[in-house]
Every structure is written in structure tokens, then in C-alpha cells.
Amino acid sequence: MQSFSIDESDVETTRKSTYSVSKKLFWPVVLLSAAIFIVLLVLTIYFGVNQKSKNEVENGLTILSTTTTVSSPTTTTTTTISPLPPVQRIPTNLQQLFYHLTITPDLIDESFTGTTYTIHIDYEGDIIRDLNGLYISDYVDINGQDGIFMASQMEPTYARGVFPCVDEPARKAIFIINIIHDSSYAVWSNGEIDRTETLSDGRILTHFTPTLNMSTFLLAFIMAPKSDFACRPNLLINSKNITSRICGRADILSQLAYADEVAYKVLEFFNTYFDIDYPLPKIEHFAVPDFGGGAMENYGKHKISLNEMNFNS
């Protein structure tokens, strides 16, 4: 299991100590209605204690965030800069929120060293419409009717608005994604779908395979109606057992054939030319109807604006 260490800038203690976060578990539960869009989520962090000490230490794990609401019994403090600095080109840095998780008893005690601990956080946040973080947007289906889909754009610092995390590129973790959704919707993420479960209320719980050890801005989620979104047939690089596929609106999949061919050939060429295998079992290019970034290199799940992929010969 891969892990990363949080240094003194990420861990606040009255005396020096170091924790190692080894895995994060992120469960979004998406509720879609005509007027209100709220996402209910669960975050679980597993970590171990590296340092032995008999001193009494109050340990705080500080996690950066901006818009998420933590409903667990934790203390939230706000730090503001006053007076405001003269440089106004980075206004999002003028106010930061810190979640201080005080752990009792003292985990540095010798009897606790070597044990794996779990931090479980229940929280909620809004699904927004400004094409950043976790957002919803509109598309027009084959019958000319408006539809709604959900997508994500975490780069550069929007992951912290989706779930509590150390939202810095150097801080990496393995993510296990599980999404609960209506049975009429399909979901996509960085990993392949591992399995699905039908819940008692008829909704579907989709489990994805774990990601590689990666930064938060590389996470990707898409949820869209099954009736309007699908993928072209898989193309397999047999020598490497890597699947390449193109996904998007079902009514224009034929217009994505050229992008499908190019994506497959380019991946095969790079694998051979550089003699470095693509590290994931699949690479998926999703033609997003409304995407502000043009394209985004999410691990295993590339999101590309539909206008950049659509080609009708």
C-alpha cells in the first residue's frame, strides 16, 4: 500500500510528531432533483503513527478546504489576513479554512505505535454550475430536450471544495471511489468499474478499482443518463492489455470515430517508442458537452470538451 507523509506544515502539534496517511476513501451520494442539488459524502483516512514518545502531545491533523461543510464533531477555525495584501491577483488565498482534528488519546504513546487508525468524516456540499469542482450542466438530447449531467474539474485547487483533503500536488494518496446513483444514470471515474450493488431503495452502488498514488486534482467523476450517454466499443492494445475507449453523447458517437482511432494509435505508438508502458488498465476519453478547461489529463479518465473531439467527415 502506497502512502505519503505529512510534514510540519500539514500537522500541528505542541511537540514534534509525524503521521503517515496511507489511503483515502471517498463515497459521494448524489441526490438529483428539479431544484436542489446537494452532494452527501463520506471521507475515510487511514494512517499510522511513526514516532514513539512518552511526552503528552495534543495532535492535530490540519486539512485545507474552502467550501465543504464538515458535519462531524470537529472544530473549525477561520484565518484571515488583515489588512489585505496589495496583490489582488490571487484572491482565493486571502481566506483559508482549516479543519483541526484533535485525536484523543495520545497516539504517540508507545502502546499505540504501529497501529493503523481511521478518521471518518461525514460532510456535505453543493453541486455548483460554474464548471469547477463538482458541477452540473445542461445538454440537448437527440429529441431537442434539455438534460442534466454531472462532471468534475478539480484542477488547480477545486478538490478542496469537493471534499476535505490536503489539496496540494505533492500530497498524493490512493483513492477508492464508490458512487451511489439512480439506476437510470451511468457513472465514470478514474478506475474501471469493479462491481455494482442494488440497494434496498433501488439505487445503484458502483465500486471502482483503486487509483494509483496520485494528487487530488487528478480525480474525475462523471454521471449522466444512460439513455443519452455511452461509449464506443473498446479498442485493446493486445501486447500491453490496455483498453482505449471514447465516451460521450450516444447520438454523436459516430462523429467521435476519428478521435477513437487517433487515441488508440497514439497510445500504442508512445508505449513502443518510449518503451514505457501506460501504467493503467484503461484510458478513457470523455467528450463532455460543457467543459471549461478544454481538456484535462485525469489519470485514466481524460475529460475533453465535445467541440475539441467532434469530427464529422
Domain 228-313: top CATH class: alpha beta
Across the range 150-158, mean pLDDT stands at: 94
- 3-class SS shares of the chain: helix, strand, coil, % to 5: 10, 45, 40
Q: At residue 218, what are phi and psi to the nearest 5 degrees? A: -90, -5
And the C-alpha cell for 158?
Answer: 477545486
For the ranges 12-16, 30-34, 110-114, the one whose mean pLDDT is highest: 110-114
- Collapsing DSSP to helix, strand or coil, 251 comes out as helix
Query: Per residue in 289-306, is it b (16+ CB within 10 Å) or e — as a string?
Result: bebeeeebebbbbbbbbb
Q: Give the C-alpha separation, 12 to 45, whole Å.
A: 17
Which residues are within 8 A (CB) of 45 and not within 5 positions of it... i.e. 6 or more apart?
A: 21, 23, 24, 25, 118, 119, 121
Can you give the pTM of this predicted structure? 0.72
Across the range 94-109, mean pLDDT stands at: 59
Model pLDDT for residues 162-202, shown as the tens digit of each residue: 988 888 899 999 999 999 999 999 999 999 999 999 999 99
Say if residues 76 and 97 touch (Cβ distance below 8 Å): yes
User: How many C-beta neighbours within 10 Å does residue 312 have?
Assistant: 9
The candidate with the shortest Cα–Cα distance to 29, out of 153, 128, 167, 125, is 125
Q: Within the chain, which residue ranges are assigned CATH 3.30.2010.30? A: 228-313
Q: Give the C-alpha separation, 219 to 162, whole Å.
A: 11
Say if residues 175 and 143 touch (Cβ distance below 8 Å): no
Model pLDDT for residues 221-270, shown as the tens digit of each residue: 999 999 999 999 999 987 788 999 999 999 999 999 999 999 999 999 99
What is the CATH architecture assignment of 4-226? Answer: Sandwich (2.60)
Q: Within the chain, which residue ranges are assigned CATH 2.60.40.1730? A: 4-226
In this prediction, residue 76 carries a pLDDT of 44
Is pLDDT above 80 for 104? no
Residue type, 272: T
